[in-house]
Structure 1
Amino acid sequence: MQGYAIISGTMLVISLILSGAMAIAWISLGRQSHALSWSIAYLCYGVEILAQAIEAIRPATSDIIGPFELLFVLAPAALVAIGARQRVGLPARYRLFLTATLVALVIGDLPYLFPGRLGWTSTTSGLFTIVMLLIATSAIMPRIRRVEPAEWAVTGAISVFILFELLLIITDLASQVPGHPERRELFLTIYLIGLTPVFVANGIGAILLLASDVAEQLRRLAANDPLTGVLNRRGFHDAALRAVSNGRRQRQPIAVAIADIDNFKSINDRYGHTAGDGTLSFISGCLTRGLRGGDVIGRIGGEEFALLLVNSSAQQAAEAMERIRAEIAAGFSEDGAPVPVTASFGAAAIPLSGGTSEQVLAEAMDRADKALYRSKLEGRNRTTLAS
């Protein structure tokens, strides 16, 4: 009894600490819904542990607390799955998870309605938890990008949790066989010994995942232009340098282009800075739509954009820029008022041999900039290919 009380007290404190940490993350990190879901989940776990402690101290309360206790086992598992889906922008499907939780609650509480209690409450909660953890894992592991270390850590912790639940289910079912009271003792021993480290590991994993997400947000803020969403000058340089190095290794042609909005100051002066910001967003949208996957775009100045086109010759890059230039020249409207806007382009090839990737990128950018300058001198709203 003393050992059980110590473990229960420890688990209660850990649950409250993890719930508080998730709540602080929710408040401090832009009120992200998945942090709140996980905070409530750990709070529910704390309530369930408190209920277990009350039952241990006063066994007579088991018939009253037991049916409600199961809810605080099922709800956290569902909230963990919901939070994992919220984190990656998938539909939370609250109604579906609520229905599944209520069905599992009814099935798990049936033994309380019949004499003899068949003893499937632990099995029901274990199976439900495993299903929810599998749903969470499928949401956490990305399909279209590299898996982050924190995501691997969480997946590993969840996998251990699933194995722990399977072991509990097996020993619980074995303990239902009459004449083997030692099996019930085994179940309780595994539960008490294994719950704390598994629980703590998953909590730490969740916190690491939140911290990793924050770090990724900071990296994006540092590398992206907040107005247009494309890379800023530093972000473009780093991404372009990686693309150039990769293209040179694979002997693929690479080209760079620079675009500049014509008479942008007059747009700001005549229509206001709101129209100017809308023009920048419009231009970046046209440029982004005109590129392929793997190409790089960045805003490198006030109204100047740079583009790197992989597996593309200078002539192909110039043709792509000409198509984008024509789309921009069609104009756009801000608040219903026409805002005439055009852009000029310069394009150049990046040599696959010569100096370092840094050097050939800088030289190509310089030639593209000179070609852009010729476009300006020759009347704007045109594309010039560097000789």
Structure 2
Amino acid sequence: MSAPAVILSLLFGTALVMTIAMGVSWLHFGRQRHVLTWTASYAVAILQWIANAGGYFLHSRWLFILTGIGLIVSASLLAIGIRQRSGRPLQLLAFAVPAVLVSLAMAIAIGPVGSQIMQGMIIPAYVGLLMAVSALSLWPRNRSFTPPELAFFAALLAFALGQLALATSAALIRGPEEGKELYRAILGLFMPTVYVGTAVTAVLVVAGDLAQQLRQQMMHDPLTNILNRRGIEEAAERAIANARRQGRPVALVICDLDGFKGLNDGYGHMAGDAALRGFAHLLTNAVRRGDVVGRLGGDEFGLLMVDTGAEVAADAMERVRAEISCLRLGEAPQALLRASFGVTDLRPDDRELDDLVARADAALYAAKREGKNRVTVSRAAA
């Protein structure tokens, strides 16, 4: 088997495997829009490599034109998927118009003009720029790269550099054979490796996103969409460790709805669920970025407020206590919601989170004994 046949088989197989892998990921793991777009990208690539093989072995200009269009469409879909994943603004015309113009220029170069130099420059230059822009679109905002993202970013840059190197080497061609050695070396040795590398790292990104999605599901309460007990415990341990290192205050609040069982019994679980969601919303709005809010179980919630003393935290909870009395449930318009709060702060002799939890729990029970619907602060022993 000739070297071109081996390379084309490799590229076709890569596109086929990627189409299947992305398709399965989209079907079974959340049906994310960018994964479907990447599935379409590699599905087009399958047709592209078939047309490329036909053009090479049958010496058909029309098949080479289809190959060029397929490469442009496949690269454009990959770039669109990256923007979809990053949540950046997406204007389809910004991709469609240049793709059509480049396709027309490529068709003219292959057909009427028959210029090998133009053929070798137009598509690689466009795809190279598209991959470079895609790499920049992948750059995360307000956080660092994950390892899969960093690998994909590097692969996209390598793809862009390879395509731009192809375009540059095509400009150096002087005759039927003169100057083609560099072009063939880049096309035959470097680009297949980069293409496969880009495909593999794209799969790693999808797998990494899935792992993060599963972790989020494990750490969050599905009803209220805030942290669950496991999530708040892990986040609180980190926050307390940072507070100790930096010598900053931390306050812990444990709270629950007064008479929640009666609400459930009297109005049904739909009303109870609505009350929990409303309470969680009020608590989330009452804290700042960096604070931790979670549902500990049932109607009990926990908040860890960083750079905040117990008295300041109690003032914030007083506002929540007043606001929850104004909360009305569509499922139970006559229900009047009340809540109790226990507050404590981090003390020098605290060894672990459970020490704060025990004091906040005791303060919450004290609030219940004193008549409910109040905020009680745990006081240090004299």
How far apart are the structure 2 equivalents of 1:121 and 1:44? 20
Question: Helix, strand or coil for the counterpart of 1:90?
Answer: coil
Alignment of 1:1-387 (within 5 A): 2-59=2-59, 61-62=60-61, 64-112=62-110, 114-117=112-115, 119-175=117-173, 178-179=174-175, 181-335=177-331, 337-351=333-347, 353-356=348-351, 358=352, 361-387=353-379
Give the direction of change, closer, same or farther, for the CA distance of 1:146–1:118 in structure 2 (3 Å limit). Answer: closer
How far apart are the structure 1 equivalents of 2:186 and 2:229? 56
User: Contact 1:80–1:132 at 8 Å: present in 2 too?
Assistant: no
How far apart are the structure 2 equivalents of 1:118 and 1:194? 20
Output one character per residue of 1:10-66: Cα deviation in whole Å (capped at 9) or x when no partner: 21112111111111111111221211211221122222222121112111x21x223
Question: Helix, strand or coil for the counterpart of 1:202?
Answer: helix
One-letter code of the match for 1:35?
V
Deviation at 1:123, TM superposition (A): 2.2
Give the direction of change, closer, same or farther, for the CA distance of 1:89–1:107 in structure 2 (3 Å limit). Answer: same
Deviation at 1:259, TM superposition (A): 1.1
Question: Helix, strand or coil for the counterpart of 1:300?
Answer: strand
Give the direction of change, closer, same or farther, for the CA distance of 1:154–1:290 in structure 2 (3 Å limit). Answer: same
Output one character per residue of 1:346-376: Cα deviation in whole Å (capped at 9) or x when no partner: 111111x2253x2xx2222111111111211
Deviation at 1:113, TM superposition (A): 5.5
Query: Alignment length, in residue pairs?
Result: 379
CA RMSD of aligned residues (A): 1.8
User: Contact 2:256–2:339 at 8 Å: present in 1 too?
Assistant: yes
One-letter code of the match for 1:52?
N
One-letter code of the match for 2:320?
I
How far apart are the structure 2 equivalents of 1:287 and 1:269? 24
Output one character per residue of 1:323-350: Cα deviation in whole Å (capped at 9) or x when no partner: 1111111122225834321111111111
Deviation at 1:196, TM superposition (A): 1.6
Question: Helix, strand or coil for the counterpart of 2:30?
Answer: coil
- Structure 1 spans left out of the alignment, 5+ residues: none
Give the direction of change, closer, same or farther, for the CA distance of 1:159–1:319 in structure 2 (3 Å limit). Answer: same
Deviates more, 1:284-293 or 1:87-96: 87-96
Give the direction of change, closer, same or farther, for the CA distance of 1:77–1:311 in structure 2 (3 Å limit). Answer: same
User: Contact 1:232–1:299 at 8 Å: present in 2 too?
Assistant: yes
User: Contact 2:270–2:331 at 8 Å: present in 1 too?
Assistant: no
How far apart are the structure 2 equivalents of 1:112 and 1:191? 18
How far apart are the structure 1 equivalents of 2:310 and 2:335? 31
Identity %: 35
One-letter code of the match for 1:14?
T
One-letter code of the match for 2:214?
L
User: Contact 1:331–1:338 at 8 Å: present in 2 too?
Assistant: no
Give the direction of change, closer, same or farther, for the CA distance of 1:373–1:65 in structure 2 (3 Å limit). Answer: same
One-letter code of the match for 1:384?
T
One-letter code of the match for 1:88?
S
One-letter code of the match for 2:56?
A
Output one character per residue of 1:80-103: Cα deviation in whole Å (capped at 9) or x when no partner: 111112223334433332223212
Question: Helix, strand or coil for the counterpart of 2:349?
Answer: coil
User: Contact 1:372–1:384 at 8 Å: present in 2 too?
Assistant: yes
Deviates more, 1:89-98 or 1:236-245: 89-98
Deviation at 1:157, TM superposition (A): 1.1
Question: Helix, strand or coil for the counterpart of 2:329?
Answer: strand
One-letter code of the match for 2:73?
A
Moved over 6 A (4+): none
One-letter code of the match for 1:25?
S
One-letter code of the match for 1:280?
L
Deviates more, 1:47-56 or 1:106-115: 106-115
User: Contact 1:157–1:202 at 8 Å: present in 2 too?
Assistant: yes
